[in-house]
């Protein structure tokens, strides 16, 4: 790749990533204005990511613009660190999300989930009292369970519904409890449960309780997290390929900058 071409590509790539970094920082600031534990917990990582992308983009842009081999060296080292971090995270994400899947239940169009099926990392995170207290608060505020009655107005509609893992685990008692369904948000708890599952006694029809303290709810969250992590891992693979190409172009720009410097000497 020629000197002019590689420097031109590096300049424009880093100019675009600077704009992306600014957008990420703005999004992080917007998240900080929301006081619920879900969004607020992600504020610092988002701001940190945006700031890091912005800094590395400036270094790469200036290095290519000035044909400065030192700046390009710094840029390539930081980019290499990002590539290694993405690769490590992606491998760990696939390992962590390798276990766990839903169980089909006769007469239902959705699956039920059991916490024991998931990786030890998920178990540790979800069984941590502070972590679950924060997640439980998010689930209650999300109103997902209370909206089921609005979405499925008849018992037939509710029984034919394809609930999400969180709705299936947190908004209703496990099917093996045998509680008769009155509507999408109410079960007849006067019926004696036919199962020894401890979740049967934890479920309440109260909107702030539901099955949020149940193992089935934690399993539903684990399945949701597994799906999200898989999506992120696949995205990271694509990002890894793109950044590897950028790294290659950056190597060409640094080499050409070094040659230019030597010719001037």
pLDDT in tens, 88-104: 988 988 898 888 888 88
Determine the pLDDT at residue 253.
63
Do residues 137 and 37 touch, judged by C-beta distance below 8 A? yes
Lowest average pLDDT, out of 36-40, 96-100, 151-155, 203-207, goes to 36-40
Summarised one tens digit per residue, pLDDT across range 23-32 is 878 877 776 6
Interior angle at CA 21, CA 16 and CA 26, nearest 5: 130
Nearest Cα to Cα of residue 168 among 216, 126, 133: 216
Determine the pLDDT at residue 262.
47
Would you say how long the chain is, in residues? Answer: 265
- Beta strand residue intervals within 105-217, DSSP E: 111-112, 181-183, 186-187
Per the prediction, the chain carries an average pLDDT of 82
Determine the pLDDT at residue 199.
95
- Most distant CA atoms of the chain, gap in Å: 90
Determine the pLDDT at residue 210.
94
Determine the pLDDT at residue 61.
82
What are residue 104's DSSP bridge partners?
A: 111
Q: How confident is the model at residue 255 (pLDDT cuts 50, 70, 90)?
A: low
Instruction: Answer left, alpha or beta for residue 34, where phi above 0 means left and psi between -120 and 50 means alpha.
Output: beta
pLDDT at 235 over 70: yes
Alpha helices, DSSP H only, in 69-143? 69-96, 120-127, 129-142
b/e map 232-246, b = 16+ CB within 10 Å: ebeebeeebeebeeb
Interior angle at CA 235, CA 233 and CA 239, nearest 5: 115
Determine the pLDDT at residue 203.
95
| 194 compared with 6, residue with greater pLDDT | 194
Other C-beta atoms within 10 Å of 148: how many? 18
Q: How confident is the model at residue 258 (pLDDT cuts 50, 70, 90)?
A: low
Residues with Cβ within 8 Å of 54's Cβ and at least 6 positions away in sequence, in order, are: 18, 21, 22, 25
Distance CA 260, CA 59 (A): 19
pLDDT at 5 over 80: no
Q: How far is CA 245 from CA 67, 101, 208, 238, in A?
A: 19, 36, 50, 11
Do residues 179 and 188 touch, judged by C-beta distance below 8 A? yes
For residues 74, 79, 81 and 84, what is the CA-based torsion angle, rounded to 10 degrees?
-150
Summarised one tens digit per residue, pLDDT across range 128-186 is 999 899 889 888 888 889 889 888 988 888 888 889 999 999 999 999 999 999 998 89
Determine the pLDDT at residue 265.
46
Interior angle at CA 124, CA 120 and CA 127, nearest 5: 130
Determine the pLDDT at residue 259.
56
Determine the pLDDT at residue 86.
84
Q: How far is CA 81 from CA 11, 76, 77, 236, in A?
A: 20, 9, 6, 14
Q: How confident is the model at residue 223 (pLDDT cuts 50, 70, 90)?
A: very high
Share of the chain above pLDDT 90, in %: 24
Instruction: Give 152's DSSP letter.
Output: -
Determine the pLDDT at residue 177.
92
């Amino acid at each position: 790749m020629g000197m002019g071409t590689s420097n031109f590509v590096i300049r424009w790539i880093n100019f675009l990533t600077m704009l992306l970094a600014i957008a990420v920082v703005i999004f992080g600031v917007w998240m900080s204005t929301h006081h619920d534990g879900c969004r607020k917990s992600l504020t610092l990582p988002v701001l940190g990511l945006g700031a890091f992308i912005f800094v590395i983009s400036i270094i790469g842009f200036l290095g290519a613009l000035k044909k400065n081999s030192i700046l390009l060296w710094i840029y390539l080292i930081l980019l290499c660190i990002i590539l290694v971090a993405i690769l490590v995270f992606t491998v760990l994400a696939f390992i962590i999300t390798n276990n766990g899947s839903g169980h089909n239940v006769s007469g239902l169009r959705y699956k039920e989930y059991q916490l024991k099926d998931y990786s030890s990392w998920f178990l540790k995170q979800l069984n941590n009292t502070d972590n679950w207290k924060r997640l439980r608060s998010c689930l209650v505020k999300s109103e997902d369970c209370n909206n089921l009655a609005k979405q499925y107005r008849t018992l037939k509609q509710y029984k034919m519904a394809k609930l999400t893992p969180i709705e299936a685990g947190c908004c209703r008692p496990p099917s093996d409890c045998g509680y008769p369904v009155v509507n999408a948000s109410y079960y007849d708890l006067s019926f004696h449960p036919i199962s020894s599952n401890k979740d049967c006694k934890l479920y309440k029809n109260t909107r702030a309780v539901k099955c949020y303290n149940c193992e089935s709810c934690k399993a539903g969250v684990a399945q949701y997290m597994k799906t999200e992590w898989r999506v992120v891992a696949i995205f990271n693979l694509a990002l890894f390929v793109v950044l590897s190409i950028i790294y290659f172009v950056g190597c060409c720009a640094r080499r050409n900058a070094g040659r230019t410097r030597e010719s001037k000497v």
